[in-house]
Structure 1
C-alpha cells in the first residue's frame, strides 16, 4: 500500500504523474484516479486509460468497454489533467490502471507506468472467540485507503463509531442479536448482518443497495428478513422522512405502491409510474411484541432518471452521440438508437458507434431495450430544424367511456404534405380517421409546430394500444418504428399504470 506522489519521467520530456499509486475502496462507491501529464511537442490527438496491454497491440480505451458503460468520468478536457473517476465500483474493477496519450508527431505515443493499482472490496463481519467471549471485526480483502471510521449496528440500530475495525463493546450472547458494520460516508454500503448465536437472529438483508431506473417505469425493491420473535407488522418507508411512514399510506404514492412476498422470502416493494422525486433511500422495518427493527439501518437507494442524447464534437469535424443518464442504469441495459424515427442499432454501449450524419434534416434518439416507449427526446446534430416528433406523454391510463387527448409536437425540415395518427399494432400504418373501428370517435386538432392532438371519445377497453404519429414530405417519411404514446383503458376507477 502506497499513498505518496509517484512521478514517472519519460524520455525527451514525456511524463505521467499519478498522485496515488495504490487505492483500496468499497464496492458500490466511486474513486478518483488523480493524474497529470506532460509531453515535449506537437498536438495531443488522443488520450485514454487502459488496464491491459499486449506487445505490438494498441491497448483498448476503457471508455469503449461495455463493462464501464456510464461509469467513467474523464477530466481530460482540462489542460494536462488526466484524472479519471469510476463510479458504482465492482470487485472485478480491481486492476492496474494506466494513462496513454498520442500526439500528431512521429513516434508520439506514451503510456505512464507503473499506473494506479485499484483494489475493490466489500465489508464482512467476522466473528471470532468462544461462546462467552466473542470479538467482531469489520473485515475487508484489502486495507481501506484514508483511515476510515467504522460504524456498527446492533439489530439495525446505530451503536458505535471508531477508527478501529474491531467492535469495542461487549458482544451480546442473545440469540436475537445481529451485528453489521459500515464505513462513515458510505453507510448505504454496509455489510450483511450476522448472528452471534445460532442463525435465527433479527436481521434484514437487502437484495440491492443501489438501483437506477428510468422515469415512468416500474421498480421492485426487495429484502429478506428474519425475526427471532413472531412478527406483528412490517412495511417500507422513505428514510428522508422524520418518522417512518408506511408507503401504502403516503398520498404521494397513492395507487403506485404494492407489497408482495412473505417472511423469509423476498419481501418486495413495487413502485409504478416512477417520478424523479421518487429518488430516495427506502428502508424496511418489522415489529414483534417486544422488538422493533432499527430505523437507522441503511436500506436501498433508488435513483430515477430520464434519457438524453448528448452530442459532442469528435475528430475531423465528426460528432459523437451518447445516451446519457443521471445515474448508472441497473442490470447492464441494451441501448437502442433511432434516426429520423427509424430503428438503427442496438448495443450494450451508451455510445452510438456508426458515423453520425452531418445533414441538417437528421435527428437522433435513444431508448433502453424493454422500455422503448421511454425514449429520449430526439435531437438535431446540425442546427435546430431537423425532423423530429416529441410526444407530450409516454403513457396514459383513463376510464372506459371517457375521452382522451393524445398529443405531440413535430418539426419537419421540408414542407409537410400529410400527417396522421395510427395504431402501432397494425401491420401497416393506417390513418385512424379512416379506421371503421374508430368511426365518429376520432378527431385531430392542432397544426405544425404546436401540439397536434388525437382525441378519442367513448373509449373502449380494446382501444388500449400504442398510438404513433407520422408525417410526410415530398422526399421524407417520418419513421414508423419510433415509439409513441401507450394508452390503457380500464373499467375500474381504481387503477395504476
Structure 2
C-alpha cells in the first residue's frame, strides 16, 4: 500500500489516497480533507472520490466507522447508513462510479469518530478500505471575556472553539440575546473601544447560517472609584414630624461600582450596618445627626448628615423656688415650673391641692399664702403634672425701721417639698 499526499494550493485541498494494485491495475480512495472541525448542530459534508480498474463492477459502496485500526481489507464493517444513531442524519451523495461524498446533519459530540469509505467489486480481492481515515471533531462556542473591566478601558471579547473550524466562518455577536448587526465579520473577536457602564450586559456569539448560539457571558464594568465620581446620600422614610413612639427608617443610597457596604453613625458613634437603618418606637434619646458611610475595595465616602428631631410631650416637670427666707409681711414666694419637652412647653397651669380650679397660669407663680402647690406643663403633644411643694408660715419676726420707732412685722415663709 502506498500513501500519497498532495497539496492543491488554490483550494488548499488535501487528498489522502490509498492505492491498491489489483491485477496490474490500481484502485484507491481519496478524501478532500482528513480532519474536519464542525460546529455542534451543523451539517458536515465529507468530499470523497474513488477509482477501480476497468472491467470491474461495483457491488456495494458504504461508509463505516471504527475505533480500532485494522489493516485488513477483508474484514467486515457495519454500514453507517444502517446504524440507528446515523440513519436519520446520514445521506450518501455519491454514486457507484467514482463519487463517494456524504453528508451528516445535526452533528453532536457523539459523532467525534474516525470515518472510512468502503467499496466492494465483483472480483476476488476487489475490496478496498479507505485508509487513513477522515477524523470528525465537533466543537461548541465559548465567549472568553475579562472577569472585570474598568470604565473607559478597551475590552476584547473572543468567540472560541476547541478546534479550527474547517469552513470559513462569519461570526455574529449577540448582546442580551439581540444581534449586534454591525458586528458581522470573519474575525472571532468583538472589540469595545471605550467600555461604559451601559455596556455591562450578557454577550454571546454564533456563526452566520447556524442556529447554535454560545452560552452568554456577563461583562462586569467597574466605575473608577474616586470621591468626585460617585455620591452617597441618606433619605428618611417619614418626611413629616417625628413624634416619640413612631417608627423611622433611614435609607443609604450610593452609585458606587462594585456595590458598597453601608455603615451608620450617630455623630461619631457606630450604630449599625446595611443599606437600611430602622428605629422602632423612637425616643428623645435618638435625636441627633446621622451619617452613612459607603465602602468598597476602592475606597469609602460619607454622606451628608441628616438630623432626627424627635418631638415629645413634657416630662420631668418640677417646681423650683427663686425666693426663700425672711420676707416682709405681705410679700410673696415665687415658684417656677420647669419641664423637658420638644417643642418647649409654653402653657403652664398652677393648682393648689384640695381646690378644683386653677390658681394661676404662666411659667412663674407668686404664692401669697401657705399651702401645697403644683403645676402642669403643656405642649401640642401632651402634658405632665409636677410633684407638689409646700409653702408654710412660721410665726412673726419683729423688724425695726432705720429712722423711726415704728415696728414692722415680718412673716417668715418657708417652702419645702412634701
**TM-score between both structures, scaled by the size of structure 1:** 0.37
Q: Name the one with the larger strand percent.
A: 2
Scaled by the length of structure 2, the TM-score of the pair is 0.44
Higher helix share: 1
